Chain A
Amino acid sequence: MSDVLTPQGPALTAKDFATDQEVRWCPGCGDYSILKQVQTILPQTGIPRENIVIISGIGCSSRFPYYMNTYGMHSIHGRATAIASGLKATRPELSVWIVTGDGDGLSIGGNHTIHLLRRNFNVNILLFNNQIYGLTKGQYSPTSEENKITKSTPMGSIDHPFNPLALALGADATFIARSMDRDPKHLQQMLLHANDHHGTSLLEIYQNCNIFNDGAFEIFTEKSSRQEETLMLEQGKPLIYGANKDKGIVLDGYKPKLVDLNNGHSANDLWIHDDHDFYKAQILTRFFDNPATVGHFPRPFGVFYATERATYEDEMQLQLEEAIAVKGKGNLDALLQGKETWVIE
C-alpha cells in the first residue's frame, strides 16, 4: 500500500467504504461477498470517495448502494443504466458504478442495458446474476435455465434464457468479463480490470441466491467439480483446464475443439487467449452449454473481450467544444433577438 498521502487525507481502507446501515441480505447470500470485494478494491483504485457514485435499480442486489459509503442512488426497476447515462454525460469525471440483477438489467431494463453498451459511456456495470428474481421471492428470470420450476412456472419455464455476455457483444460492448461470488481473488481482479477500462465494462458475476436458487453455480464453485467445469481466461495464455491441467481447447477453423494434452496435443497447439480478438470472444461467449451434456465445454471466467472505442461523454464534450470554436460561446441576447426584428415606438 502506498504511503503517500492523497489530498483527501490518509489512504482509505475497505472500512471507509462501509456505512452504518444494517446489511439486510439473507445470511449466506452471495451478495455479501461481492460487497466485500468492492469495498476491498475501491481503496486500491485511488479514486476519492466523493467521486464514486453507485446507482442501482430494484432487486436484492440493488440494495447495494445503501451499504457503500460513497454517493449512491437506489432507483427504480431496470433504470439504473439510464440514470447513470445522464449522470455520466454531464459529469464525466465521476466514477460511476451500476449495480443490477438479471431481472433488473436484462428483463425490465434490458433495453437500456443494450443501449448503454453501444453508446459506451465510461461506467462499470456489475450484473449480479443469480438466475432468479430474488426480491420478489423466486420467480424465474431471463437467465434461468429452461424447464426451471419456480412459483410462476410450476410445470417448468418454457422460455429460452439469455446468454448475457453474448447479448452484450451483440450490442458492441467494449468490455465483457465474468466472475463469481465464491472466488474473491478473481472477483477483485475483474473489478479492477472493469474499473481500468475506458468505456462501458460489463462484469457478469455469478451470485448464489441460497434461498430461491441455491446451488445454481455449484458446479463452477465447488472444489469437486470446479476445475473440470471452469476455464480461467488469462491474457496470452493457452486455454487449459482440468484438475490435472491436461485439457485444452484448440481452434479448428472457427470451431473450438476440446483436446487431451496427454494424448498427442501440447500446450503449443492450443488457442491462446487474446481479449482484443472480437471473433474469438464471440466463440468464447458461446461456451455456454449445459454441464450435464456429454462433451460440453467448460464455462469461461475472466476478461473475454476488451477494446477501445470513443466514449459517449467524450464525444459529447468534443461536440460542445467544437460548437464553441465554430460559433463562439453562446450569447443569450443575440439568441433572443434572432435575425428579424422590428421596433414599435
Chain B
Amino acid sequence: MSIPTLVVEDVVIKFAGDSGDGMQLTGSQFTNNTALIGNDLSTFPDFPAEIRAPQGTVPGVSGYQLHFSSNRIYTPGDNCDVLVAMNAAALKVNLKTLKPGGIIITDISGFDTKNLRLANYTDGVNPLEDGSLEGYEVHKIDITKLTREALKDIQLGVKEKDRAKNMFVLGFLYWLYNRDLTSTFSFLHDKFGKKADILESNIKALQSGYNYADTVEAFSSRYKVEKAKLPPGKYRSITGNTALTFGLIAAAENSALPLFLGSYPITPASDILHDLSKYKNFGVRTFQAEDEIAAITSAIGAAYGGSLGITTTSGPGMALKTEAMGLAVMLEIPLLIINIQRGGPSTGLPTKTEQSDLLQAYYGRNGECPMPVISASTPSDCFDAVYEAVRIAVQHMTPVIFLSDGYIANGAEPWRYPSSEDLKPIKVNFKKGMAADEGKFMPYQRDENLVRPWAVPGTPGLEHRIGGLEKEDITGNISYDAENHQHMVKVREAKVDMIANHIPLQTLDSGPETGDVLVLGWGSTYGSIKSAVRELQGQGLAVAHAHLRHLRPFPANLGTMLGNYKKILIPEINNGQLIKIIRDKYLVDAVGYNKIKGVPITRTELVTAVKALI
C-alpha cells in the first residue's frame, strides 16, 4: 500500500537519550543525510560534561537538535516538531520545547519503573500512560526489544546489540522523511569496517528501523523537505571546528608558512588539535604540550622561527596563557590564539556555550597590552574569519585572539566551500638580509603601518635580541626611559588601531540604514538575531542587524552606524561584555539582552526583547 508523502518546508527534530545512547551520532548522521539532499540546516548538539553521567538521570541526557528546511534558516530552531526520547529523563528534559501536536517517538523500555524513578517521576506515574501527552502524537515503540530481535542471529552480547538501538531509530526516521540509507551505510563501513559483527548489527538495525516504520503503518503520511533555495554553488556540511581547521590550513598554504600548533586538550577546543594532527601531509606540525603555557610559548618559539604559530584552547586555558600573550605583544610577532569559549568562570560549564571571554580577550593581561580580536558568527564563518585572523597576524606582526564558542564549534550547517583560487593569497614579508647601505639591523624599525620586520634566525646579518623587557623603539635595546615607555605604549596601541584601515567597513546584515532599533551582535548569536530581525522586518518594523567580526579594532564606520538608530540592542550569551566596550568607546546608551544559561538565545526571546524597545 502506498502512504502519501507530504511536502513540508521546515522541520526541527530533537534526538534525546542517555549519554550512552549514541544520540550525537544519530543526529550527525541524519544531518549529513539532510545536507546531501540539499536542505538548508542548522544543528545544536548539547551534551553533558561527563563521558558517562549517571545512566538514566536528567543530568545524563544528551541531545542533538537538527533544523532543516527548503528555506534559508539560521538557527537550530526554538521548538521542535519531532522529539525522539530514548528514556524517561530525555522526555522530561525536552518536552517543554516540543511544539503542540508534535511527534514523540519513544523507546518504551526506557520508561520502566527504574528509568521513571531515575528521571524523578513521582512513584506510579508514567507519562506514556497517564494521558499527560494527549496533545501530542506519541509513538510508543519497544525499540530495545525490536533491535534485539532483529539482531538475534548475530553473535554479540546483549549490551553490544543494545548499542545499535540508535540505528533502529535512525532507520525509522529515515523512512518518515523519505531518505536514502546509502550515506549511513558508507559511514558505517568506514567506521566499523574492521569489526564485521558490529558493522552488521548496525546495518541490520538501521534497516529494521526503516522496515518497521514501513510495515506497521504508524504514520498516515511521510514527509519530504525540498532542496533549499541556497545561492548556487557546490556545498558540503561543516561544523565550526572543522571549518576553523580548514581555514588554518588554507591560510598556511596561501601564506607559504609552515603551520605549527601548540595545544593542550580542553573541551570544546580539542577537536581542532585532533583534526590538525591528521593533516601532516600538509606539513602541519602539532605539538601536544604539557600545559597551556607551554602550548602558547612553543607557538611563540615557532613563530619566532618563521612558522605560522597557533595555539588553541578554551577559557581556563586562556587564563593560563595571558602572560605569554603579553610577551608576544612585546615581541611583536605573529601568533594566533584561538579560544573556543565555554561557560565560566573556572572550570564552569565545559560542554555548554557562552560568550563570556570577550572582556578577557580585550583587557585580560597585565600592562597596556592591546591585541586584535576577531570572532566567528556561524560554523562555516569560522573558515573565513580565521583566515582573516591569520592575515592580520602576519601582516601586522601581532598576536591575534580568535573567539569562537561551543555552539558554533560543534554546530553544523551547509557550506558553499571555496576553491583554492577564490582565496586571496596572504603576503608575508620576511626580512631577507641587509642591503649594503643599510647599516645595522634595527629590529623595531617600523613601516607606515607601524609594523616591524619579521627577521628569523638563520638569516645572516640580522642577528638581534628581543625580549619581554621594555625596549627602545627602533633599536629594540632594553630601555627603562620614561619617555620611551610612554611612546612605546602608544605605538603598540596605535599599531593595533591602524588595523582598522585594513579591514572592511561594517555593513548591515539586514534592515534600513536608519531606524528604530539596531541589533548589534557578535559571535554565535548571529543566527538568532538574523531570524528575529527578519521576522520583525516582516512586521514592518524599522529594525536592522549588524554583526561584528572585527571586535578590536572595530571597523572605522561603526560609530556613525550606531548613531543612525534610536536604540541599540546588544544580545549576548554573557552578563554584558560587548555592551561595556561599545558604551565606553562610543558613549551610546545601548541596551543589553543577556542570557547566561549555557544555551543559545532563541529567536522568540529576541523578538520580544526588540519589541520592548519600540
Contact = CB atoms under 8 A, between A and B. Distances in A.
Interface in B315-334: 323-324, 326-327, 331
Most buried by A among B237, B287, B289: B287
Interface stretch (A158-166, A213-221, A331-339): A331-339
Nearest to A71: B457
A209 to B, nearest CB: 21
A79 B327 CA distance: 11
Contacts of B290: 82, 111-112, 115
A68 B464 CA distance: 9
A55 interface: yes
A86 B253 contact: no
Interface string A159-196: 00000000000000000000000000000000000000
Given A76-B468, A85-B301, A335-B279, A53 B307 contact: no
A83 interface: yes
Interface of B: 32, 35-38, 183, 227-237, 246, 249-250, 253, 258, 260, 262, 279-283, 285, 287, 289-291, 293-294, 297-307, 309, 323-324, 326-327, 331, 417-420, 457-469, 477-478
Contact of A86 (B227, B246, B300, B462): B300
Contacts of A289: none
Interface string A305-345: 00000000000100110111011111011011110111111
Contact of B283 (A48, A83, A320): A320
A111 B295 CA distance: 13
Given A79-B294, A89-B287, A340 B250 contact: no
Contacts of B233: 343-344
A344 B236 CA distance: 11
Contacts of A91: 305-306, 457-458
Interface centre among B301, B324, B419 (most CB of A within 10 A): B301
Give the most central of A8, A51, A83: most B CB within 10 Å.
A83
A320 B294 CA distance: 22
A89 to B, nearest CB: 6
A89 B477 contact: no
Nearest to A56: B467
A343 B290 CA distance: 44
A268 to B, nearest CB: 47
A76 B328 CA distance: 10
Contacts of A53: 457
Contacts of B283: 320, 330
Q: What's the interface size class on A, roughly?
A: 35 or more
A335 B246 contact: yes
B463 A71 contact: yes
A342 B460 contact: no
A303 to B, nearest CB: 27
Given A74-B468, A91-B306, A86 B262 contact: yes
Nearest to B39: A342
Contacts, number: 204
Contacts of A327: 281
Q: Which of B36, B279, B285, B477: most chain A CB closer than 10 A?
A: B285
Contacts of B289: 82, 85, 115
A49 interface: yes
A87 interface: yes
B306 A86 contact: no
Nearest to B462: A50
Contacts of B281: 320, 323-324, 326-330
| A90, A332, A343, most chain B CB atoms within 10 A | A90
Nearest to A66: B465
Contact of A344 (B232, B279, B307): B232
B484 to A, nearest CB: 16
A50 B305 contact: no
A68 B298 CA distance: 22
A93 interface: yes
A244 interface: no
B502 to A, nearest CB: 24
A115 B294 contact: yes
B301 A82 contact: yes
Contact of B477 (A21, A93, A335): A21
Interface of A: 8, 19, 21, 48-53, 55, 58, 65-66, 68-76, 79, 82-91, 93-94, 111-112, 115, 316, 319-320, 322-324, 326-330, 332-333, 335-338, 340-345
Contacts of A50: 457-463
Contacts of A330: 249, 253, 279, 281-283
Contacts of A324: 280-281
A344 B324 CA distance: 46
B280 A319 contact: yes
Contact of B37 (A72, A328, A337, A342): A342
Most buried by B among A58, A71, A112, A333: A71
A335 B279 CA distance: 9
A180 to B, nearest CB: 26
A84 B301 contact: yes
27 contacts: A50-B461, A58-B468, A65-B465, A73-B331, A73-B465, A73-B466, A75-B297, A75-B468, A76-B468, A79-B293, A79-B294, A83-B301, A83-B304, A85-B301, A86-B297, A86-B300, A86-B302, A89-B260, A316-B285, A330-B279, A333-B419, A340-B32, A341-B417, A342-B38, A342-B236, A343-B233, A344-B233
A94 B457 contact: yes
The 10 closest A-B pairs by CB, nearest first: A86-B301, A74-B467, A86-B298, A330-B282, A323-B280, A87-B301, A82-B294, A83-B301, A71-B457, A82-B297
* Residue from B36, B37, B231, B457 with most neighbouring chain A CB atoms (10 Å): B457
A83 B298 contact: yes
Nearest to B299: A86
Given A87-B304, A345-B232, A79 B297 contact: yes
A123 to B, nearest CB: 11
A86 B309 contact: yes
B141 to A, nearest CB: 30
A73 B307 CA distance: 16
A115 B301 CA distance: 16
Nearest to B433: A50
A342 B301 contact: no
Contact of A19 (B236, B307, B465): B465
A65 B307 CA distance: 22
A49 B283 CA distance: 27
A72 B417 CA distance: 42
Contacts of B287: 85-86, 89
Query: Which of A73, A84, A338 has most chain B Cβ within 10 Å?
Result: A73
A332 B307 CA distance: 19
Contacts of A83: 297-298, 300-301, 304
